[in-house]
Structure 1
Amino acid sequence: MACRIAAPDSVFLFVGANQRPIKTQKFAGQCSTGFNGFAWDPLLRQGTKQNKFLVHSRKSRTVQAVAVPAVSSAADGAEYRKQLAESYGFRQIGEDLPDDVTLKQVIDTLPKEVFEIDDAKAWKSVLTSAASYALGLLMISKAPWFLLPFAWAWTGTAVTGFFVIGHDCAHKSFSKNKLVEDIVGTLAFLPLIYPYEPWRFKHDRHHAKTNMLVEDTAWLPVDKEEFDSSPLLRKAIIYGYGPFRPWMSIAHWWLAHFSLKKFRPNEVQRVKISLACVFAFMGIGWPLIIYKAGVVGWIKYWLMPWLGYHFWMSTFTMVHHTAPHIPFKPSEEWNAAQAQLNGTVHCDYPRWIEILCHNINVHIPHHISSRIPSYNLPAAHRSIQENWGKYLNEATWNWRLMRTIMTVCHVYDKEQNYVPFDQLAPEDSQPVAFLKRVMPDYA
């Protein structure tokens, strides 16, 4: 069922069984029989169940609203998605991909040349990252204290490029020589203290199970039972998925990659080699930095750029797969094409970030096929736009997008996708309230 709720100066549209409000204005109303009163927050509450439009608002003005049945149409759907996209900070929210479309059908529409490995372009990316990282270290050494944050931001972004190179190696899209890929991938990850093989094994599962509830290895919604299990854990989760979310990949790095028990028996030997390389780098590299520049130098030259890298690692990953309208589904309901095409977000960042990070945010084609090298992702994305454009979720980075993710996309709910912390535990959700006060709300 679809209905329109009309007010003197506003029109609201709700569509389908999981009807969602679109207008982002504070509003309170009374509807005819079968509808409950509701109030409006500046950032819309996603996925409100039918007949349950109860949302708290500090200052609401009451007007009379009339529920008018509306006939669902393609035009209504397009307008709904347009207004929803504006509310969330998206450029476009795509239509649902039909159930009968397969991932192979999508892959078959891509030009063959986007899968071709070009050694010159691959090694050019290595040169770009090495040069930009060296420049960043030089900037740190020369910058006065008040310019150090800019030098750290540049260097952290540059070292993220090393991660993307290792990422291509892990997906076998860097070189036709697999030994070269393993060596380059291991070396590229060393400045990040990331063990290459453990990360590769975990990341392969992310691609195989993208947006699959429980099985995905990246940015899952919070489990309701875990959230309710203890007050202390609840508080930690609220901080972790709230104000600390741009650095939550540090927890993932530590918890997921250093325990042999987390890997299959046939993976353990390669995991041990990667861990030995990482510990050797720490045991040799860190003492050398401290010997030459002291503990303060270790903080300046390694720790701060490393935190910059984790900022990008966290924010890139959550933007790629986290939005109020993108569902995580149990394995029995999961559809590969829908998860990879509909469930992955393309986000445009400033050009210098894309250059230093080798197109990692041109992410939809990467999830359609991880064998596409990073330098071919823009061409692949243009092809996908031509053939499947109406199904794509696309954004240009903006504050409203980040605000939506950090203040709305929290606890899993089958019908609503996400329930915000401050709806479930308002007394513990001061960190979320703080983010709502201080984060800009503009796209």
Structure 2
Amino acid sequence: MGAGGRMSVPPSPKKPAVDPLKRVPITKPPLTLSQIKKAIAPHCFRRSVLRSFSYVVYDFILASLFYYVATGYFHRLPQPIRYIAWPLYWAMQGCVLTGVWVIAHECGHHAFSNYQWLDDTVGLILHSSLFVPYFSWKYSHRRHHSNTGSLERDEVFVPKKKSGLRWWAKHFNNPPGRLLSITIQLTLGWPLYLAFNVAGRPYDRLACHYNPYGPSSPTENVSKFTSPTPASSPQPTWSTAWCWPKGYRGGALSTVDRDYGILNKVFHNITDTHVVHHLFSTIPHYHAMEATKAIKPILGEYYQLDGTPVYKAIWREAKECLYVEPDEGDKKKGVFWFRNQI
């Protein structure tokens, strides 16, 4: 071979890395919702009672198995190992029960079966077992789907403008502060939102999901669902103006598919098929991957995927996404972008 062994080999072409911080397009996409739907196979919209229930059974078998091992065998472990085993069990069991939560969430979207009464019955039982008020959250979550990305009308995870930051924001803008904020959000964030509307849109009174007469209750909001709701502009922008015509679910394209690794399956793919879920929320989770693959080519740059490991993405967002502001000179467009300079 001689010097031939030193000959350079042409490098294999690599796919260009997707920049998760690249700004998304804010113009109206050159396609309609019906065109997107036509790209998805019709069977993806079909719901099977037996198949849907099989996932419920699977999740509860797994949760019961974890519970049996923890309560039956952890006491036999040496004391130091128990301090590791119990938190590990809490995390694993929490992930499995999040899968149960996702199925109940699908019931609220009428994605469990063809029968609304069955969906509501199953959803009520599953969510109640997790201390989630099924009906009030079902309706507030529906409003979230109708107003995704709106600073004025979205229901949850509504970012603040710089003028709305609390006095302590600058004191938490450091590694220990971010770690504390993330810990609180991942442990107490969900119950605090349900009970006290923490990180939710402002109301003129306490929006408690456990209060049947509160602004999150079905009776309070039934009139809001009988009238059409316009769509908002895409993320990571946030909008106070309706940038796209009424009838186009533009806010759905503000969502992002993320890779949670093995947890994608544990969470029934709600994490890596979130875009198609916001476009067509009645598609059951077991068809969502196929539907996602179908819409990617036609959405093109309007499809958002962030492959950053989730723990890195959480830290990045805690560091970079502190508040929203419009670009200089673009204040009339109603498009806001995340900033981090306090």
Superposed pair shares fold, TM > 0.5: yes
Residues in 2 aligned to 1:265 and 1:203: alpha-carbon distance in whole angstroms: 11
Shift of 1:192: 1.7
Matches within 5 A, 1:55-74: none
Work out whether 1:258 is the aligned partner of 2:188.
no
Matches within 5 A, 1:23-422: 82=17, 84-85=19-20, 88=21, 98-141=28-71, 142-143=73-74, 144=77, 145=82, 146-228=84-166, 231=167, 244-247=184-187, 248-256=189-197, 257-259=209-211, 260-263=213-216, 266-267=219-220, 326-333=236-243, 336-341=248-253, 343-351=254-262, 353-361=263-271, 362-398=273-309, 399-415=311-327, 417-420=337-340
Is the alpha carbon distance of 1:236 and 1:93 closer, same or farther for their aligned partners in structure 2, counting shifts above 3 Å? closer
Correspondence for 2:330: none
AA at the equivalent of 2:194: W
Residues in 2 aligned to 1:236 and 1:347: alpha-carbon distance in whole angstroms: 26
Shift of 1:83: 6.8
Bigger Cα Rg = 1
Shift of 1:128: 1.2
Shift of 1:249: 2.3
3-state secondary structure, aligned to 2:156:
coil
Q: Which has the higher strand share?
A: 1
CA contact (8 A) 1:95 1:392 kept: no
Is the alpha carbon distance of 1:173 and 1:374 closer, same or farther for their aligned partners in structure 2, counting shifts above 3 Å? same
Residues in 1 aligned to 2:28 and 2:115: alpha-carbon distance in whole angstroms: 38
User: What percent of counterpart residues are identical?
Assistant: 21
3-state secondary structure, aligned to 1:328:
strand
Shift of 1:369: 0.7
AA at the equivalent of 2:260: Y
| Runs of 4 or more above 6 Å deviation | 233-240
AA at the equivalent of 1:418: F
Shift of 1:106: 2.1
AA at the equivalent of 1:111: A
AA at the equivalent of 1:402: I
Is the alpha carbon distance of 1:150 and 1:265 closer, same or farther for their aligned partners in structure 2, counting shifts above 3 Å? closer
CA contact (8 A) 1:241 1:410 kept: no
Shift of 1:202: 0.6
Q: TM-score, normalised by structure 1?
A: 0.57
AA at the equivalent of 1:330: T
3-state secondary structure, aligned to 2:122:
helix
Q: Which runs of 5+ in 2 are unaligned?
A: 1-14, 198-208, 223-233, 328-335
Shift of 1:95: 5.4
Shift of 1:389: 3.7
Q: Which has the higher helix share?
A: 1
Shift of 1:334: 5.1
Q: Which runs of 5+ in 1 are unaligned?
A: 1-77, 270-322, 425-443
Shift of 1:166: 0.7
Correspondence for 1:23: none
Is the alpha carbon distance of 1:95 and 1:418 closer, same or farther for their aligned partners in structure 2, counting shifts above 3 Å? closer
Shift of 1:346: 0.8
CA contact (8 A) 2:24 2:236 kept: no
CA contact (8 A) 1:174 1:181 kept: yes
Shift of 1:233: 8.2
Residues in 1 aligned to 2:169 and 2:49: alpha-carbon distance in whole angstroms: 48
Q: TM-score, normalised by structure 2?
A: 0.72
CA contact (8 A) 1:161 1:358 kept: yes
3-state secondary structure, aligned to 1:163:
helix
3-state secondary structure, aligned to 2:324:
strand
Correspondence for 1:282: none
RMSD: 3.0
Residue correspondences, number: 280
Shift of 1:103: 2.9
